Amino acid sequence: MNPLKNLSIIRKSVQISAFIFFVYGGTLTGFYLADKVSGALPALSCAYDMQGADLCTLIPFQHQMDHRLGEAIAGGGNLMMGLMPTLITLGTFLVLFALLNKAFCGWICPLGTFQELLHNLGQKLGLQRSESLAPALVKRIRPVKWLILLLLVFGFPLLTGIGWVNHDLGDPFCKICPSRMLTTLATGETSELYLDSSSSTALTLSLVADFLFGLTIALALSIRQPFCRICPMLALHAVFRKLGLLRLVKTATPGCDRCGLCAKACPMDISEIHTEMHKKDVTFEDCTLCGRCVEFCPYKNVLQLKYAGLPVFRADPAYFKPRKKAQREWEGSNLLALLKGSRRVARVKQP
């Protein structure tokens, strides 16, 4: 299949370009381009990266809960003044989010890109992979992202500002986020891996951070997008997904009952893409708008990515057949298969 017509290859090129820009772009644009542009990029581009060109909106949300709203509540000040910075951050977030919707996750997020590349590496090494998690496990995992958003992004920082918990919980999500480890390591900075023993809370958070980063790497080699499933940014995106201009749209046909290739292709194991027969907008809360379900739908125009109501990529049998063949060739080309082939050749050559 022509790589220029393969949506997955096009997306990978965009992901890698975005990774380079958001992790290293500060060397060209100046530190924290976001301070000049928005302060609220809807993707995990970490402020701990001193070469970064932008920063994740979860960072100002935590700081504003702690230093603005929380302190206003504790001091009996003007609550609207305490809340205003958060509303401004949310407003700039929504302006950017409306442009690409949840595709910020599937096309731009550096941590999402890193996990996909690791999974590709696991495939090439011939590791045993789990292409789909059990539906019951997926349902149990889904609420976790909401708990992290409510507790670590908003809850504990607010309680810190009020004075009910210690200051180490002023930005707890940042202190455990794998993106902080990833982006700083990518720029040659290793200090974020060190254990912070200044307090028991700081030590606990740094232990959790190191463990979570290591676990994300280990799981990503065999499971698709492990951290994305519990990421609070995905939850924040889900709240406002109806505002985005980019949507995943489905026009179900009787063939959908027997198929299910869309759900199998989905890296987030969203079975509802297959089972939903009535809704047109199937941009579900865990969807990252990566477009893989559209690629692997064999029925013409059943699934479409639409921008402002206009189709930008549609399911098509003429695309599906060469894409499926290319996928089989990709999956069959790995180190394990190569070693098996070498052994067979060696046995044939033996006298």
Q: Which residue has the tokens 């990029």?
A: 41
Q: Phi and psi at residue 322, in whole multiples of 5°?
A: -70, -30
- pLDDT over threshold 50, residue 36: no
Model pLDDT for residues 57-97, shown as the tens digit of each residue: 898 899 999 999 999 999 887 888 889 989 988 998 998 89
91 residue type, one letter: G
What's the confidence (pLDDT) of residue 38? 52
What's the confidence (pLDDT) of residue 34? 45
* Count of other CB atoms within 10 angstroms of residue 240: 16
What's the confidence (pLDDT) of residue 44? 82
- pLDDT over threshold 70, residue 239: yes
Model pLDDT for residues 324-338, shown as the tens digit of each residue: 999 998 888 877 666
Model pLDDT for residues 268-279, shown as the tens digit of each residue: 999 999 999 999
- The percent of residues above 90 in pLDDT, for the chain, comes to 65
Nearest to 292 by CA among 41, 138, 103, 143: 103
The Cα 182–Cα 175 span in angstroms is 13
Pairing label, strands 310-314, 303-307? antiparallel
The Cα 54–Cα 93 span in angstroms is 13
Nearest to 177 by CA among 222, 208, 221, 144: 208
Number of Cα atoms under 13 Å in the Cβ half of residue 117:
13
CB 291 within 8 A of CB 14: no
What's the confidence (pLDDT) of residue 190? 86
pTM as predicted:
0.89
Model pLDDT for residues 88-134, shown as the tens digit of each residue: 889 989 988 999 999 999 999 999 999 999 999 998 888 777 778 89
The Cα 40–Cα 347 span in angstroms is 60
The Cα 109–Cα 41 span in angstroms is 10
Q: Which residue has the tokens 């996909």?
A: 116
- pLDDT over threshold 70, residue 346: no
pLDDT category at 23 given cuts 50, 70, 90 is confident
Model pLDDT for residues 155-207, shown as the tens digit of each residue: 999 999 999 999 999 999 999 999 999 988 998 888 888 888 889 999 999 99
- pLDDT over threshold 60, residue 33: no
What's the confidence (pLDDT) of residue 25? 78
**Residue 249's beta-bridge partner residues?**
281, 304
**Residue 248's beta-bridge partner residues?**
305
The Cα 12–Cα 292 span in angstroms is 12
